[in-house]
Amino acid sequence: MLPLVILATFLKPALAARAFLNEPDTGIDRTVGDIGVGILPDLTDMVSLPDFDFAARNYLPALNYTYYRQAAGGEGSYRNNLEIFGNYRFLPRQMQDVTALNSTLPTTILGYNFSLPFFIAPASRAAYGHPKAEAGLVEAAGREGILYARSQFATLSINEVHALKAPGQVLFQQFYRAPTLEEDQANLDSIAAVGAKAVILTVDTNSYGSRQRGLRYGFDRTENRGYRNVTWEYYHTLRNMTSLPIVLKGIQNVRDAQAAVDNGVAAIYLSNHGGRQLETSPSALEVAHDIYVNAPDIYKQIEVYADGGVRYGSDILKLMAFGVRAVGLARPFMYANIYGVEGVQRAIQLLRNELSRDASNLGLADIKALNTSWIQTTRSSWVGFI
């Protein structure tokens, strides 16, 4: 038997805290050459969504990159959002005919047709990434036929964004409660006037998150700025102020998901705000799993969307296996937007290709047939690379 002192020496590296990985080692730093800070790698060097994070961190001023990258507290929720997907195993099936898989990728969201089951989630201040701001997001979404949900705090005005729409393009609009109902009504009227098809009411932002990384750049003050009182009473008041469907974004437990069904909500959106609001809040995948275990009928009663930590096609498949209809991504598209519309379009195409390849290797003939029989529904203890 090894003496305890020797045993402790061997155990020490294993017990040490894991390094905080911002993105996996994709090898990009060894292929783009010795580029200096502030230099943008060639767009053709981007072969995965994490590559855009590398490019944005290298290219953008620290303040700009930090605005997108910051998260709450010790950033454990941010990290968990990325890593949790590695704790769920697929159950691939072989001997399947997957040749028609790509024809099954289109989906509907609130009855509107889209080419893919993922979308550009609301994220503010796109001008921090590119001078044309949200133009790259809305135009790329239009070219690729996916949903773009504009942030209420976008750089471009709602009218400017909608002026960039392709013919027939559908946009949703994210919404925060205003200080007065009169301002709420004015905002809702503006949303309807430009032709947005749904309101995404963010319900997880009672106050600004404790984003310590951002504090260094003046994105918030240390004192609390006050609270937004978003309640069921407020939801019903808002419901009577617009004819547009209202999606609740920021659902993080089964009780709220069930309450949304009981209150006639159009759809729910599982999200912890990219880990930016409350440290150790659950990831969307964990909430999706919890709904599956405790109230699986919710997936049949209401449309469910989700975002947070999604970087790969396999991540999308795991959320969809539990019953999520469409999956949002924010940071990856904001990083891709440093290249403008071509960068966002390349990110969409890369993710579409990954989604298709991963689904075929899973053995799926029809992505709409995806359910929990294709995934282990008991989390493993293994944690892999993000």
Catalytic annotation, residues: 273
Token couple for 315: 């991540």
Token couple for 124: 């503010």
273 annotated ligand binder: yes
301 annotated ligand binder: no
312 annotated ligand binder: no
111 annotated ligand binder: no
The amino acid at residue 202 is: T
372 annotated ligand binder: no
3-class DSSP assignment, residue 56? helix
276 annotated ligand binder: yes
Compute, in degrees rounded to 10, the torsion defined by CA atoms 342, 343, 345, 346. Answer: 110
DSSP result, 24-50: ---SGGGTS-SPPTTPPPPGGG--SHH
197 annotated ligand binder: no
Whole-number Å distance between alpha carbons of 128 and 201: 24
Compute, in degrees rounded to 10, the torsion defined by CA atoms 81, 86, 88, 90. Answer: 130
202 annotated ligand binder: yes
235 annotated ligand binder: no
Token couple for 246: 């209202």
149 backbone dihedrals φ, ψ, rounded to 5°: -105, 110
157 annotated ligand binder: no
Cβ atoms within 10 Å, residue 280: 12
148 annotated ligand binder: no
314 annotated ligand binder: no
> Contacts for 377-380 with beta carbons within 8 Å, 24 or more apart?
377/88, 377/289, 377/292, 377/293, 379/87, 379/88, 379/289, 380/87, 380/88, 380/89
218 annotated ligand binder: no
Annotated binding-site residue numbers for glyoxylate = 67, 176, 211, 273, 276
Annotated binding-site residue numbers for FMN = 151, 173, 202, 249, 271, 307-311
Annotated binding-site residue numbers = 67, 151, 173, 176, 202, 211, 249, 271, 273, 276, 307-311
